[in-house]
Amino acid sequence: MSRNNIWAHLAIALVLVLVAAFAGQIANWRRNLTPVKQSSSSQETSAASDQSEESNGDDQRDDHKAEVLVRFRAGVTQDAIEKIAQKLNDEIEDRIEAIDGLDVIEDENGKAAESVVAQYRALPEVEYAEANSEIKLDHEDAGRKHVHADDELFFRQWGLFNSGQNGGRAGADISAMRAWAVTTGSDKTVVAVLDSGVDYTHPDLANNIWTRPPIIKAYQDDDLTSDGPIDDVHGFNLVEDNGDPMDDNGHGTHCAGIIGAEGGNGLGVAGVNWNVKIMPLKFMDENGLGTTKDAIEAINYVIDRKRAGVNVRIISASWGSTIKSRALEDVIRKAGEEGILFVAAAGNSSSDNDRAPHYPASYDLGNVISVAAVNRSDQLASFSNFGAKSVHVAAPGEEILSTWLEHDFRELKGTSMATPFVSGVAALILSQNPNLPLSDLRAKLLKSVDPIPSLKGKVSSGGRINAAKAVGAE
């Protein structure tokens, strides 16, 4: 190649490099000039699944109408409520049958939720009004008689049996094997998992999924569907208002497995209960997003099923936020009046719930138990909320292996995982005494702990739950 040709090729290469660099700079300019879409939430708080985030709904997305929860005063008839809504050009989306006068109202005028709330609060007929909030899941990412589970992954479930594996402390567990020598649970006990649904086809869960008995009529809620009864064969889906609570997020399936993965079947993991019935309630979508309104409607469903004859005695709730809802508090209180225990995650913000309450775990109600998380060495988990008065008990919550989507298994951490341990122990107690009054069930749980030095001054019971003590095995 001649010297002239060499210089010509070098010149061409230089031009190509400059063109590419200039094109890249133009792309950068375009990216920098692209407007950033603002979040639809005006307020977000770290919470539990446990950890959850909840928006107060002040700023509504253009494609969503504002929804508010309004409780009218005693004596205001439903006809009067409908006239008030019509006058304000609003629509009554749903009536919460369990709570007199509590309605979900949808704005038809394009107003922000807080404007609608203020409008209703100003009415003399209204006891309270609040915006429907958004909730987001964000999990972190000795000689005595006993029964050993033969499930293939049981040796990894340190929360049930801790031999000191993977650097843990031997005995830092819920003493499940000694409890199983007394009871492995009962299919007469129903636990509602209020979450993202449950994969009811999972081979380690399928036999323990609740199925509506033929003698129980299908669920009827004319406000949610105009197509007649909801065929709630396995529970309720509040995201789509139908009877298919299939999990497409994974969180609910994980929590369900801790409570009641089938034990002794040689497969996967063992739940705290080998035998139990899990009622899936889906109020969070595939992204872990849900609303206070849908949580209320799900609890309203549980109350209805309890009144219809279903022995549902426990609601397990692995979510929450720092936003207090009087409507949610009302429906949880009503569940307690129906004999239903409400077990809730304390939260994953490493904060003191006595000073900064975390709901629903911080509602001061006789049927609520708030649960903190400990690690495999019986130390309070670094992420776990605590509270000497408002958090009641602790349970395993780090590196917890349980059921997952696509018939798989996965480890997660959070007070979300600690909560179903306590729900599971409550179900073991009820397997021995199905008619045990709610107050006695709660008292027995809070007394059935191992005192742990790291929990002194952190939870009111001062201890981590012990299943063997709960069922009288020690």
**Catalytic residue positions, numbered:** 195, 251, 416
> Residue 206 has what DSSP assignment?
G
> Residue 217 has what DSSP assignment?
P
Structure tokens at 13: 């290469």
Contacts 24+ apart (CB under 8 A), 337-340: 338/303, 338/306, 338/307, 339/306, 339/313, 339/437, 339/438, 340/302, 340/303, 340/306, 340/312, 340/313, 340/314, 340/315, 340/367, 340/438
* Rg (alpha carbons) of the chain, rounded to whole number: 26
Q: Are 255 and 195 spatial neighbours (Cβ–Cβ below 8 Å)?
A: yes
Place of tokens 């063109």: 19
Alpha helices in 190-325 (DSSP H): 251-260, 292-308
Q: How far apart are CA 214 and CA 228, in angstroms?
A: 17
First to last CA, the chain: 93
Peptide bond just before 420 cis, omega within 30 deg: no
Structure tokens at 5: 């040709």
Burial 322-361 (b: 16+ CB within 10 A, else e): bbebebbbbbbbbbbebbbbbbbbbbbbebbbeeebbbbb
3-state secondary structure of 431: helix
Q: How far apart are CA 415 and CA 318, in angstroms?
A: 7
Q: Are 446 and 452 spatial neighbours (Cβ–Cβ below 8 Å)?
A: no
E strands, 311-386, in order: 312-317, 341-345, 368-374
Q: Are 415 and 384 spatial neighbours (Cβ–Cβ below 8 Å)?
A: yes
Q: How far apart are CA 45 and CA 161, in angstroms?
A: 35
